Structure 1
Amino acid sequence: MNQVPVSAAPAPVSAPAALALGDDALVLSHRLGEWAGHAPVLEEEVALANIALDLLGQARVLLSLVGDEDELAYLREERAFRNLQLVEQPNGDFAHTIARQLYFSTYQMLLYGQLAAGDGPFAPLAAKAVKEVAYHQDHAEHWTVRLGDGTDESHERMQRGCDALWRFTGEMFQPVEGVDVDWQAMAAAWHESITSVLERATLTVPEGPQRGAWAAGAGRQGLHTEPFGRMLAEMQHLHRSHPGATW
């Protein structure tokens, strides 16, 4: 009698991994949502809102793998969040927001590309998300070049944004428990991609520790920068003010 092969059980989802990736997407989604009504042109208001919604969708899937997505988003204290310090940084001006998006979307594109190519628990999400992130990265690259190679003022603002956020980029390549990727290869590919974009934009790669030795933040350990506390209070205010309320 022929035996039917037994499929291997899917790998269990790592809670630290789902929280880290989910919190990244959730926090950056909120930051981008703050541009509603304030973007420099209507088209960019729509574009940033769409990117924010993509990230929110990713966050909902990832957080639901761990528990109730609403409770995780609105009832955790600051120290319980595991997002990168990069994504919690204030929007600043438009160039500052674009620099943050360029750094993060390039990282996320490489991360999801590796996850989608594997057979781990995040592969299905990554296969879908990588298509969204491709747009996020293209949008950020387009504006980086446009601002960097534009007027003297836009060039100065774009360079200032890139310089200010550079110190937060090293944390992206700290290994996360349950995320099975080649972190060193990702860091090298990220640095190469960012360098290429900044050169096309006539911008200078920020000075600081070299690839693989950046000073890393501690957002993954629940230590956050001062602006995050204010952002979190705003994000959680309605839910905490009306506990148990439904539409």
Structure 2
Amino acid sequence: MNTTKLEYLLRMGDNCLVLSQQLAAWCGHGPALEEDLALTNVALDLLGQARMWLTLAGEEEGKGRDEDALAYFRDGSEFRNLLIVEQPNGHYGNTVARQFLFDAWHMHVLAGLSTSSDARIAEIAQKSVKEVRYHFERSAGLMIALGRGTPESHARMQAAVELLWPYANEWFESDAVDEACASSGVAPAAPSLAAPWRARVEAVLDRATLKMPGYIGHQRGGKRGVHTEHLGHLLTDLQFVQRTYPGAQW
């Protein structure tokens, strides 16, 4: 078992799983029918990606845990997702801003993983990046539309960016797992994604007439299993059926 590769796979899978669960909570509650359907489709895309990453993680671990076991029977401290994806949905503008900041990073990291030295990782990334390019186009378009909308929508989007900005740097901080995966060609170096991410985000915020905060985010811990209280609430909903009725099937 390659423990560094396993950790990296869990990070990718957990990001997708947690954000998919967050977006699914909007099903039936979106501000318009078209938005409701579109956001649900993004959630399904991310769930599909989570399944691929976690299936591969289970194989790498070699302990007989499949995607379901990893999703439903790990405690919060065993999850490796970024803190930003577990932040509350809030109002729709908060959800859009969270999605946009994540999509911009997700697109770049998947592009790097598409040339991974690990053929299975490259295969998953090549499939996923096609979906995530659409995710980014959609969330960027909403940022621009809402930022340039009414004074109220502009103010709400500016506040949403500022609320989430403290969490928008964790993905560029490199630890032993990131460094090992980068040195072996498994994954791109985490800090190398910062400049292209910032340029892409700044370009969209400029078009949206929104200001980019002038500081670097400081919240971190998700990649090593230190989470906010919000993840516990989310996992309670996600894992309830399997924890209560192990092995239950629809």
Structure 2 length-normalised TM: 0.89
Alignment check: 8 A CA contact 2:94 2:160 kept: yes
| Whole-angstrom distance in 2 between the partners of 1:27 and 1:246 | 21
Q: 1:13 to 1:59 in 2, by over 3 A?
A: farther
Q: Give the structure 2 partner of residue 93 of structure 1.
A: 91
| Whole-angstrom distance in 2 between the partners of 1:180 and 1:127 | 13
Q: 5 Å matches for 1:175-214?
A: 175=174, 176=178, 177-178=180-181, 179-209=186-216, 214=217
Alignment check: 8 A CA contact 2:18 2:85 kept: yes
Alignment check: 8 A CA contact 1:30 1:235 kept: yes
Whether 2:8 is the aligned partner of 1:17: answer yes
Whether 2:224 is the aligned partner of 1:221: answer yes
| SS of match in other structure, 1:14 | helix
Gaps of 5+ in 1: 1-10
Q: Give the structure 2 partner of residue 103 of structure 1.
A: 101
Amino acid in structure 1 at the alignment position of 2:8: A
| Whole-angstrom distance in 2 between the partners of 1:162 and 1:13 | 32
Q: CA RMSD in A?
A: 1.6
Alignment check: 8 A CA contact 2:241 2:248 kept: no
Q: Give the structure 2 partner of residue 151 of structure 1.
A: 150
Which structure is higher in helix share? 2
Q: Give the structure 2 partner of residue 79 of structure 1.
A: 77
| Whole-angstrom distance in 1 between the partners of 2:110 and 2:36 | 26
| SS of match in other structure, 1:205 | coil
Q: Give the structure 1 partner of residue 169 of structure 2.
A: 170
1:55-98 residue CA offsets vs partner (Å, 9 max, x unmatched): 00010011011221111111100100000000001111111001
1:176-208 residue CA offsets vs partner (Å, 9 max, x unmatched): 353520323310110111111000000000232
1:17-67 residue CA offsets vs partner (Å, 9 max, x unmatched): 110000000000000000011100000111001100110001001101122
Alignment check: 8 A CA contact 1:116 1:126 kept: yes
| Whole-angstrom distance in 1 between the partners of 2:195 and 2:219 | 16
Alignment check: 8 A CA contact 1:74 1:239 kept: yes
| SS of match in other structure, 1:65 | helix
Q: Give the structure 1 partner of residue 61 of structure 2.
A: none
Alignment check: 8 A CA contact 2:173 2:191 kept: no
Please identify runs of 4+ aligned residues in structure 1 that moved more than 6 A: none
| Whole-angstrom distance in 1 between the partners of 2:49 and 2:18 | 11
Q: Give the structure 2 partner of residue 231 of structure 1.
A: 234
Amino acid in structure 1 at the alignment position of 2:236: A
| Whole-angstrom distance in 2 between the partners of 1:70 and 1:180 | 25
Q: Give the structure 2 partner of residue 112 of structure 1.
A: 110
| Whole-angstrom distance in 2 between the partners of 1:13 and 1:53 | 28
| Whole-angstrom distance in 2 between the partners of 1:53 and 1:159 | 28
- Structure showing greater radius of gyration is 1
Deviation at 1:14, TM superposition (A): 1.3
| Whole-angstrom distance in 2 between the partners of 1:118 and 1:235 | 31
| Whole-angstrom distance in 2 between the partners of 1:99 and 1:128 | 24
Whether 2:50 is the aligned partner of 1:43: answer no
Amino acid in structure 2 at the alignment position of 1:25: C
Which is worse superposed, 13-22 or 93-102? Answer: 13-22
Q: Percent identity?
A: 43
Whether 2:249 is the aligned partner of 1:246: answer yes
Alignment check: 8 A CA contact 1:13 1:65 kept: no
Amino acid in structure 2 at the alignment position of 1:88: E
Deviation at 1:120, TM superposition (A): 2.6
| Whole-angstrom distance in 2 between the partners of 1:162 and 1:111 | 21
